[in-house]
Amino acid sequence: MTAPALRVGIVANEVSGDILGAAVIAELARLVPGIRCVGVAGPRMLDAGCATLFPMERLSVMGLTEVIGHLRELLGLRRELLRFFLKDQPDVFIGVDAPDFNLGLERRLRAAGIRTVHVVSPTVWAWRPGRVKGIRRAVDLMLCVFPFEESFLREHGVPARYVGHPLADQIPLEVDQRAARRELDLPATGPLIAVLPGSRLGEMERLAVPFVETALRCLDARPDLRFVVPLVNARLRAHFSAVLERLAPDLPVTLVDGRSRAVIAAADCVLTASGTATLETLLLKRPMVVGYRVHPFTYHLVTQLRLVKVPYAAMANLLAGRELAPEFLQDRCRADLMAPALLDFLDDPARVSVITAEYARIHAGLRHDAARKAALAVLELIGRSAAG
């Protein structure tokens, strides 16, 4: 007798989650043909065959203050998803990152007897460790993408498994810069800086101005420089273009729709917001400068309550165990500080060589065929076998 089709509920809320979700969906579909995936999906998950109930961008909110401003809408969307999944119950629900949104949904679904998996551990080892109690109530299985997370979670009673990071499997150990430049129709030679001002509107609103000002200051010192900026959607492109028109209409810059991986690979160094982009830049072996700002009230709460328990903001630095990527946070996210740090990379090939070697070492350690391991773990949890 043929087993019924596997029904998967899955929710992602931003570009990095879309990438991870798509990798897991594609592997599940390969192992169990005919699966049905529905939830909240970005373009990559849609391409992998997932149906979406509403645009992923409606969940793309980050920061305490920003979430408060959108709280009514976010809670309404979560109630809508809860009603949907309780009515048309999946065999398993997978929350991809977005812990403040997904864990609450997972807890209610699990209470209704639906198996729940969360991909990407919340950074309870870094800040707000009390959240681990809520994780225990919400998930049947936590799939960890970094090696130090599994033991921490297991020690706190959370069923966890380290599977590795799909990006580490997807990105080759050796990156072809010339091919990336050809793909983007960029000059084959000459210094190039990639600028990544974030994948959310709130990030763009805070980072576009200091990042453009940094590019201008770099150009003053090195008139031969060019810049390239990947933008994840039309809304962010419009905002960044408006800042460019106002501050730097003559900046030699190429704007690219998406394709951040090719943009980073094409560059000699990178100015990036904190977040998954720092991991992607590490995996592409490019030296980087990290700039970031959150809402002042959010920053005040985080610092005054001492919620952060780790020394670095960028995952690249946490994985390296040292600040290979200079970090300029909040009031230090300024052109007069970030531009010299970028120019130092262009002028110090020996330093760049050391960083590249360390990033290559970390990359090799993160390659574990993560999507397949994640998919097999999901199937094991629900007692399904892979086809064939």
Are 187 and 159 within one domain? no
Are 274 and 196 within one domain? yes
Query: CB neighbours of 332 closer than 8 A, spacing ≥ 6?
Result: none
Cα(126)–Cα(149) distance, rounded to whole angstroms?
A: 10
Contact 152, 124 (CB under 8 A): yes
pLDDT at residue number 227 = 98
pLDDT at residue number 322 = 92
- One DSSP character per residue, 3-36 reads PPPPEEEEE--SHHHHHHHHHHHHHHHHHSTT-E
Are 150 and 18 within one domain? yes
Within-domain flag for 1 = no
pTM over 0.85: no
The DSSP bridge partners found for residue 36 are 7
Are 36 and 166 within one domain? yes
Strand 226-231 relative to strand 7-11, pairing: unpaired
Query: CB neighbours of 194 closer than 8 A, spacing ≥ 6?
Result: 227, 228, 229, 230, 263, 264, 266, 267, 269, 270, 271, 272, 286
pLDDT at residue number 202 = 84
pLDDT at residue number 373 = 95
Are 193 and 166 within one domain? no
pLDDT at residue number 130 = 66
What range defines the domain where residue 130 resides?
Answer: 7-170+367-382
pLDDT at residue number 65 = 43
Cα(375)–Cα(388) distance, rounded to whole angstroms?
A: 15
Are 108 and 188 within one domain? no
Domains contained in the chain, number: 2
Q: How many residues does the chain have?
A: 388
pLDDT at residue number 36 = 95
pLDDT at residue number 305 = 46
Average pLDDT for consecutive 10-residue bins of the chain (388 residues)?
Answer: 80 89 94 94 94 86 51 86 95 92 94 96 66 89 89 90 91 95 95 93 91 97 96 92 95 94 97 91 97 68 52 82 92 95 96 96 92 95 81
pLDDT at residue number 2 = 56
pLDDT at residue number 295 = 62
Are 115 and 58 within one domain? yes
Task: Report residue 344 as tokens.
Answer: 């130092």
